[in-house]
Structure formats: structure tokens, C-alpha cells
Amino acid sequence: MPSEKVLEAKKALVEELSERLKASVSGVIVNYKGINVADDTQLRKELRESDVKYTVIKNTMLGRACEKVGLEGLEDVLEGTTALATSETDYTGAARILSKYAKDHEEFAIKSGFLDGEVIGLDKIDALAKLPTREVLLANVLGAFQAPIASFARGVQAIVDKGGIEAALADKENAAADEEAPAEEAAE
């Protein structure tokens, strides 16, 4: 029977893991079998740069933490070698990085994941992995907002290049006078 000290350490680990799961917006559980040290180091670096926490964890500890926070349906995947990647801010980071890595490494596989406290399947993880990064999405939105402003600025610049506002107003008055002249000639 384990000592009281070991049991307390395990309880503390489950509690810490439970808090991590609660605070995370997304998480991915993987089978890291067959990964070498160099690849693991590179993978961890990439995950860290995307603000994703990656930890190798015992299945029983993760199972108890999942049970404690209400993530049900993960019991079936908690076998073999298991690592957990979670993020408190990025919904797609872990899925994108780990899916890309799994394509390049045959034995490395995604088992399951969760999103906003709900267990998701491999199809949703693949869909998350295909989404662009937050920065790319923000750039697209900003580009959409800037397009009308840029068009207006080009129009103003064309007026200035043509001779200024006075010339544009004179052109407009000349066009209006030309339209009125044929109407007057037709009346005579």
C-alpha cells in the first residue's frame, strides 16, 4: 500500500491537473509513442511558442482529473503512452501543431480532445487544425475593414492628381452646362 506522502502527492497532482483542465479553452490528448528526443524537443518548443502547455501524464491521473471536471468520454483513450496539450487562450494552437506533427510521424497519434469543457472527436480536431492562426484571422478582418478606406483614399488622390478639387468642381459644372445646352437647343 502506498505511503500517505505518496497519496497526498498524487491528490495534489490530480487537483493541479483539474485546475489546468478547467482553465483551458482547448486540449488535445496524444499517443507520443515512437518519438525521439530531438523531435520531442522541437515539438515542445513549437508548442511553447504558441502558448500551449504539453505534459506527459499517467492515464490514471488524467482520468481522475477528467472525472473531477466533468470531461466524460475520455476513459476509452486513456491507454498506452499519453501526453496532454492544453491552451488557456488559443482554440486551435494545440490541434494545428499536433495534427501537423502526427502527419509526419507514423506512430505519433491524436487520441481525443476537448473544447470549452466538452469532449470532441478526431473530426473536430482535424477541423480545428485547418483553421488559420489568430493573427491571420485578425489580418483578414483588418484587410476587409481597410479596403473601403483605401478605395476612398485612392479616389481623393486621383482628384488631387487631376488638378485639385477646383478642377473637379469645374468639370462637374461644365458637364451640367453641356447637358442643359442641348435641351435649350431642342426647345427652339
Question: What's the pLDDT tens digit per position in 75-109?
Answer: 888 888 889 999 988 888 888 998 888 888 888 88
95, 125 contact by CB (below 8 A): yes
Q: Percent of the chain having pLDDT more than 90?
A: 7
Q: In what order do the strands lie in the sheet with 53-56?
A: 53-56, 83-87, 26-31, 109-115, 118-120
Chain segment 27-80, per-residue pLDDT in tens: 999 998 878 888 889 989 998 998 899 999 898 998 888 888 888 888 888 888
Q: Tell me, what's the pLDDT at 1?
A: 60
Q: Is the dihedral of CA 22, 24, 28, 31 positive or negative?
A: negative
Q: Tell me, what's the pLDDT at 53?
A: 93
Mean pLDDT for all residues in the chain: 82
Q: Percent of the chain having pLDDT more than 70?
A: 85
Secondary structure (3-state) at 31: strand
The conformation of residue 54, written as its DSSP 8-state character, comes to E
Beta carbons within 8 Å of 2's beta carbon, 6+ residues apart: 10
93, 46 contact by CB (below 8 A): no
Residue at 100: amino acid letter: K
52, 91 contact by CB (below 8 A): no
Beta carbons within 8 Å of 58's beta carbon, 6+ residues apart: 82
Domains of the chain by start residue, with CATH: 4-131 (3.30.70.1730), 136-187 (no CATH)
Q: How many helical (H) and strand (E) elements, i.e. helices and strands, does the chain have?
A: 7, 5
Separation of alpha carbons 51 and 28, rounded Å: 14
